[in-house]
Structure 1
Amino acid sequence: MSLFFIYILAKKNRLIYIPLAIVTFLLILYYPASIYFDITKQGVFLSTLETNKSEVFEFILSLTLHDYLIVLFSFFILVLHSYTATQLHSFIRNKYLTYIFLVLFSYIYSINDQISLNLFKIHNLYKNYSNELNKIKDAKNQPDTWNIISNEPSKETIVVIIGESVSKKYLSVYGYNDNTTPFLNKINGRFFSNYISPAGFTALSIPRTLATSQNNIINYENNAISLAKKAGYKTYWISNQGFIGEHDTAISMLASKSDYISYQTDRDYINNKNDDFKLLDIFNSINKNHEKKVIFIHMLGSHPDFCARLHNYNVVFSSAYGKNFNCYLSTIHKMDYFVSNIYHTLNKNKQEFSLIYFSDHGLKNSSHDIHKIRLIHDDTHQDNFDVPFFILKDNDQRHEVIDKKISGFNFLNYFSEEVGITTKNLSNNRATQRMVLSGEELIPYENLILKQDIYAIKK
């Protein structure tokens, strides 16, 4: 009703009507996204600024029929408002306009605080983003400040695989009912069952995992790449996530510290949808070099659209929770095969190696239908932070599941052990209260929403 009154008033002046129609049109297009994402959250806002064409395209394709019907209905209402307002405007007298102004005033007053608050939040988010970009730019030329106590590397090759959107609860190695990780179920290694990511979005999580931070302030110069170099390793970064944007992001800045960098998607993401398996060819080429090396592999993994991530890999599950969820489980099965391929290659070459895997964040189920699952990004649920973390070595003697509480903020403690470095910069206390970045604040992990799903009951 309020929108209808606004259109009647706007008909008195085209300078008001035309901008109003444009804004309404844009809001209608934005509405489906607003159902699943809150633009005033730091992670969503940052992801929006750093997105690429393919992610936008895939998001549009991932919308349900219900979402599209809402958009079409909204367009119909927009046209109806415009037409009806035109017909009625000539019959409305000034006294009626007075009543309309009162209704509008009441409406605007009721929503004014929320609109002002959201605009203020967005303004602050962009301001903080700009400041962070300046820090990233400055950090590119800043030397590290690692204070090394000892340096005794023992492994020839270290591989760090960074997964995407993989929730721990759906890996059978951690107890999920379906056999999503047949290789990991049997292989010897250390599997950490109580590891959490620092944030619920890639752009926020990876920098806080791979670089030191204090009170949510990231020290970009002290990172895993520079630490590996201190140990005498040559560093490689190969990624299936595109190099995007007109300027560096935190992740691309960290990657730029490597001796060798390869992005498989670059800017033409839509026309170059590379399979994660193509990263294996680059890995095999690098691995032929007989040198001490650390290879970082950034997968596209289980990033939505899940079915698009499979390429020629089969959908190997047929649960009752929908095609999209079956594709998601299959992307985890594919990740398991990806890891096994790298492990067997290293083992076949009789290399002394450490293979480390962690996912940047998990996903939560946003569906209220118990017969359907819709997994999305967020930072309010524990599911968004519960991710797999495991380390496989050439000399592992047993399969060990470790229930110790670990935060992604302490990832570098474990990484430093694998590269053989002891440094004063890293805290030895890994059992401190685990904090996560939710919204713009660090909060205890235990304060997040815990949701037990009937389809995710462990054995």
Structure 2
Amino acid sequence: MLKKIVPILLILIYLTGFLLSFTYIFDNLFGAEKLESIRNIFEYGIMFCSFLVFNAFLFKNKYTSVIAVILCLLLSINFLISVSCFFIYHSGFNVGMAISILESNVNEAISMSYMFILPGILFFIFFGLLLYSVNYLKKSVIKFDIKFFIIALLWLLMPFAFYFKHRYVSNKGGGRMIKNVYYHLTDFGIALDIQKDINALKNVPKFDVKKIQPGIENVILIIGESERKQNMSLYGYDKKTTPYTDQQAENMMIFDHAVSPAGITNLSVPLMLSSIHPDEFRYHYEKLSYNIINLANQSGYNSFWLSTQASARGITAIASMAKNKKWVNGYDEVIVPELKNVIQKKQDKFIILHIMGSHPNPCNRLPANWNSGDLNCYDSSIKYTDYVFNNIFRTLKNTNSVVIYASDHGLKIKGDKLLHIDSKESTQVPFFVWFGDKVPAKYRITGHETKLTQTTYIYPLIMKYMGLETPQHYKNEENKYLDLNMSSMEYNQLPE
């Protein structure tokens, strides 16, 4: 009896993983579209049962059983993605997360491994139950007859049926193979297409811009990582997390209500550095060529990209356009000597510093001798970033330099978890401009900007500091947001 219960339990576990990634299907079970949700659950249940029968046939031969194990392993990874998103991010999976996985690196994966302990345990349980069920079906249920052969092929045939229905019946003229037992496959397919398009950016556009006055000698953009303005004393946090930056407040333009254009680095940074609009991002990636680095190169500035973050394809596609590029190993403070070397050059320079900041896991962003005091790891990582800023400000104090700082995105806090999700809370970021002593008075505008400002404003702001004529209107005025499903939306429609 117990042996028969295991495959039934496994089907329920599989469908649970499916619903964790497509929560709207579960929600609709209690609404007007409950029949549609029931149909979806039934269809995925049929495909999974067919998958079990198919692999049971493969298990009958020692050679084809290897293929079955591989198929089961891949499906278990599919399940791992679902439970990881649920337990870590409290959300379903999407294209944005697929891009993050594809652009991840070994160091980043290791630093976040502690978050995957429970999902990892569930992965091994699912994988074990899957192999047990397939083996049980092979021995006790599956027979070599036409009925079982037809059932075994359903999981391969049904996706094509869904595709043709979507293309020629429900949505004539377009559509993808939208249903598959590996239900995350479509997201990864879209993410790979996006990477391919971004990596193909080789054309260098001709910018139609006018130089109207001499620019600042050193225009420096610091791109932070996962820093919440809510946790910075510069913005009123009750813990002293930014003591050095606080002291510089009178020498800065501080944007009190800055928001990011997206919730993850791979979307927000390209939107900040290029003139591409969120409406265009999914279908016109070639417009990423119209970025601030190519503009600097054509405006008489020598461009530099200095980073303590490991290479990521989407961002590196833009970084590769800099005339000088260097990825430095170590904690963020190692970027300061690199900056010192660069500013010795007597020429106009545009320098991007891409730092690790408070990237998860924030505990790993701190040197061993760093004194966190009574701060938790996240707040301490912000204080460490402030320490790095102090060294940068001291380096540039007696120079004709402007430093623009903004975090790529913020984070939403739920309990003890820091989440990358679409919400207003996780878009609130620090954004300020600091001036060296030799910056001309016409550029030195300090104080507080109180209106809502999207960090895509960085693009025309840099144009201004380079002495270029800025556009009368820019995309930051619309405050469009690119969500994790790669859809553009009005910022005010974001949940809190």
For 2:257 and 2:382, how far apart are their aligned partners in 1? 19
The C-alpha deviation readout for 1:336-367, integer Å capped at 9, x for no partner, is 111111001111xx2122111111122223x4
For 2:407 and 2:381, how far apart are their aligned partners in 1? 13
The C-alpha deviation readout for 1:181-229, integer Å capped at 9, x for no partner, is 1122231211112222222222222121111124424533432223334
For 1:381 and 1:276, how far apart are their aligned partners in 2? 28
Instruction: State whether structure 2 residue 389 is matched by structure 1 residue 389.
Output: no
Question: Where do 5+ consecutive residues of structure 2 fail to align?
Answer: 1-6, 12-48, 163-177
- Taking structure 2 as the reference length, what is the TM-score of the superposition? 0.72
Compared CA separation, residues 25 and 317, structure 1 to 2 (3 A)? farther
* TM-fit CA distance, 1:12: 4.1
- Mapping of residues 14-29 of structure 1, within 5 Å: 14=59, 18-29=66-77
* TM-fit CA distance, 1:79: 4.9
- Mapping of residues 180-195 of structure 1, within 5 Å: 180-187=241-248, 188=250, 189-195=252-258
For 2:71 and 2:300, how far apart are their aligned partners in 1? 56
The C-alpha deviation readout for 1:23-64, integer Å capped at 9, x for no partner, is 332333454443327796332222222222222333334324
For 2:486 and 2:135, how far apart are their aligned partners in 1? 44
Compared CA separation, residues 226 and 125, structure 1 to 2 (3 A)? closer
For 1:132 and 1:237, how far apart are their aligned partners in 2? 18
For 2:129 and 2:323, how far apart are their aligned partners in 1? 57
Instruction: State whether structure 2 residue 351 is matched by structure 1 residue 351.
Output: no
Q: Which residue of 2 aligns with 1:314?
A: 370
- Give the number of the structure with larger relative contact order, counting CA–CA contacts within 8 Å between residues 6 or more apart: 1
Instruction: State whether structure 2 residue 216 is matched by structure 1 residue 123.
Output: no
For 2:371 and 2:377, how far apart are their aligned partners in 1? 6
Q: Which residue of 2 aligns with 1:233?
A: 301
Q: Which residue of 1 aligns with 2:198?
A: 132
Compared CA separation, residues 292 and 124, structure 1 to 2 (3 A)? closer
Residues 235 and 294, structure 1, Cα contact 8 Å, conserved in 2: yes
* TM-fit CA distance, 1:287: 2.3
The C-alpha deviation readout for 1:233-271, integer Å capped at 9, x for no partner, is 322221112235xxxx44323323333221125xxxxxx
Q: Which residue of 2 aligns with 1:171?
A: 232
* TM-fit CA distance, 1:21: 3.2
For 2:476 and 2:225, how far apart are their aligned partners in 1? 26
Residues 306 and 325, structure 2, Cα contact 8 Å, conserved in 1: yes
Residues 8 and 88, structure 1, Cα contact 8 Å, conserved in 2: no
Letter matched to residue 209 of structure 2: N
Aligned-residue CA RMSD (Å): 3.5
Q: SS of 1:198's equivalent?
A: coil
Which residue, out of 263, 271, 280, partners 1:208? 271
Letter matched to residue 351 of structure 2: I
For 1:287 and 1:232, how far apart are their aligned partners in 2? 16
Residues 224 and 412, structure 1, Cα contact 8 Å, conserved in 2: yes
- Taking structure 1 as the reference length, what is the TM-score of the superposition? 0.77
* TM-fit CA distance, 1:10: 4.2
Residues 236 and 259, structure 1, Cα contact 8 Å, conserved in 2: yes
Letter matched to residue 225 of structure 1: I
Residues 146 and 227, structure 1, Cα contact 8 Å, conserved in 2: no
Instruction: State whether structure 2 residue 100 is matched by structure 1 residue 47.
Output: yes
Q: Which residue of 1 aligns with 2:347?
A: 291
- Mapping of residues 221-370 of structure 1, within 5 Å: 221-243=289-311, 249-265=313-329, 274-314=330-370, 316=372, 318=374, 326-347=376-397, 350-365=398-413, 367=414, 370=415
For 1:147 and 1:194, how far apart are their aligned partners in 2? 29
Residues 207 and 295, structure 2, Cα contact 8 Å, conserved in 1: no
Residues 315 and 327, structure 1, Cα contact 8 Å, conserved in 2: no
Q: SS of 2:262's equivalent?
A: coil
For 1:340 and 1:56, how far apart are their aligned partners in 2? 30
For 1:429 and 1:221, how far apart are their aligned partners in 2? 17
- Figure out how many residues of one structure are paired with residues of the other and give that number: 409
Letter matched to residue 205 of structure 1: S
For 1:150 and 1:93, how far apart are their aligned partners in 2? 81
Q: Which residue of 1 aligns with 2:125?
A: 73
Q: Which residue of 2 aligns with 1:145?
A: 207
Residues 156 and 292, structure 1, Cα contact 8 Å, conserved in 2: yes
Letter matched to residue 375 of structure 1: L
* TM-fit CA distance, 1:442: 1.1
* TM-fit CA distance, 1:120: 4.4
The C-alpha deviation readout for 1:113-136, integer Å capped at 9, x for no partner, is 7538754454344334423333x1
Compared CA separation, residues 131 and 231, structure 1 to 2 (3 A)? closer
Deviates more, 1:399-408 or 1:121-130: 121-130
- % identical aligned pairs: 24
Which residue, out of 221, 231, 247, partners 1:160? 221
Relative to its length, the structure with more strand (as a share) is 1
For 2:476 and 2:190, how far apart are their aligned partners in 1? 34
Compared CA separation, residues 132 and 120, structure 1 to 2 (3 A)? same
Residues 405 and 431, structure 1, Cα contact 8 Å, conserved in 2: no
Residues 168 and 388, structure 1, Cα contact 8 Å, conserved in 2: yes
Compared CA separation, residues 128 and 402, structure 1 to 2 (3 A)? same
For 1:230 and 1:128, how far apart are their aligned partners in 2? 27
For 1:430 and 1:81, how far apart are their aligned partners in 2? 54
For 2:350 and 2:474, how far apart are their aligned partners in 1? 25
For 1:78 and 1:429, how far apart are their aligned partners in 2? 53
Q: SS of 2:288's equivalent?
A: strand
For 2:225 and 2:257, how far apart are their aligned partners in 1? 18
Which residue, out of 415, 418, 422, partners 1:375? 418
Q: Which residue of 2 aligns with 1:449?
A: 495
Compared CA separation, residues 151 and 221, structure 1 to 2 (3 A)? farther
